[in-house]
Structure 1
Amino acid sequence: MSEIVYPPVIKTALGLFKALNLKFRLEGTEKIPSTGGAVLVSNHVSYLDFIFAGLATHPAGRLVRFMAKKEIFDNRVAGPLMRGMHHIPVDREAGAASYKAALTALKSGEIIGVFAEATISRSFTVKDIKSGAVRMAVASGVPLIPIAIWGPQRLWTKGRKRRILQRNIPVTILIGEPMYPKRGDDYDKVTQELHDQMSELLEKAQREYTDIPKAGEDWWQPAYLGGSAPTPEEAAKLDAEEAEARAARRAAREAEAGEKKSD
């Protein structure tokens, strides 16, 4: 597979991180396989997570093909980059094609990156996850590798202004023990085990994080550590309201399109 785009993007990102003096804590890189496919499953706290999750495999000399929502690929700037790096677009209303593309990549020895929560967690805890990552790992005969990311939410997350040029921000990336689900397993049980391991990694990253929020800046700290981020219950309510509003906008667009077509 031609890699004209991905290496320069990584080099540019690393140069920017150095200029901003981002302070990385990267642990568990020895758990990334040097060859063969794997499903890398990350928590989701920011719009920049795919960049930092990709760093988890960098010491092993591996590249990650992330599954990302189709709208990113439709963007005139991000789209060509995403396609050039051979990431996989996901259409939530027609996911079979993206699932098939991911399986093909896994069977050819690629690492596929998945944000199993689907959307950013406003509570900065691990939301419920679906069994798709487990099913992909089983179908392609590859391991699941959970990781946790903490820190990028301070740069750009849902409901907050972008601060991507902030300096001296610590970023933690912890890689957990690989899991090897197989056919015949209870996929829901394995998915819960995956969720539990991701949650443990994230809590470790949060409790051991070197920075403490300044006065008035505790929005990026989870509620269970005394921060003002929404609780999981509050976050779920906000997500539901957002989903309802999105559905209403989509229905309105479809109705408008139908009226224009009838005219």
Structure 2
Amino acid sequence: MVINQQATSLLALSDSYPIPDIEELVESKTTTCPPGLMPITNTHFPTSVVHPTGRKIPKIIHITSRYRCATQAVINNVDKWRFQNHSVYFHDDEAIDKLFTHPYTRSLFPTLREGLKCVTNGATKADLWRYLVVYIFGIMSQYFLASSVGHPLMAKMLEVGVERLKATVNVMVNNPAKATGPGACKVGFIHFMAEVGVETNSHPKSHLATELFSILPLALITIALGPIMLLLSIHKSMTLNNCPFVYTAL
């Protein structure tokens, strides 16, 4: 299948470097926090539990914020994502930087380093991290993404975000939604569809094209609602461009 061939080809570029160890990435030196705050901890299960044979999307959830120390209210919300037999990893800025600078990452996405020079806000940084961590580890993010390992759609979104950052005239004029967020998602979708031979009348400068969703089963764009994975914001009875939607538990 074209998608599998693309993923295999891209991942082969990093054969000389090991995939980053997730536990090492999220390992934190933060053991104490200021009064009123506590460190957010990780939950780890072995691969045999979170990624058994035959399952494409591992039962791993990645969450990010600038600091690991948080209030009890925030920790309570994070704890709601600790589903049975699911690993939960919290990435602070230190962990994100480790992933960005890892040799494996740099060999896969050599232009990322230049794009990061144009990052001047946390939202943009988190956007790029989100595509990257989902691509490398094939996991669920607490935003709206879930993917199998090495899905080229995630690579397209990251590449679009990086190119838009590199083309920024004034890095202090930030528009994450357009440069690296939903705008990059949409254009990445369009590029991906073109490469796999799916026709669309979408255009990168047009409004969000409904026909993009015709490949949702391939892209695996989902949101985690409790222990069940549902397609983002799509009611089971809705149709767009005569294309019916169906949601299923993964």
TM-score, scaled relative to structure 1: 0.30
TM-score, scaled relative to structure 2: 0.31
Q: Quick one: higher RCO (CA 8 Å, sep 6+), 1 or 2?
A: 1
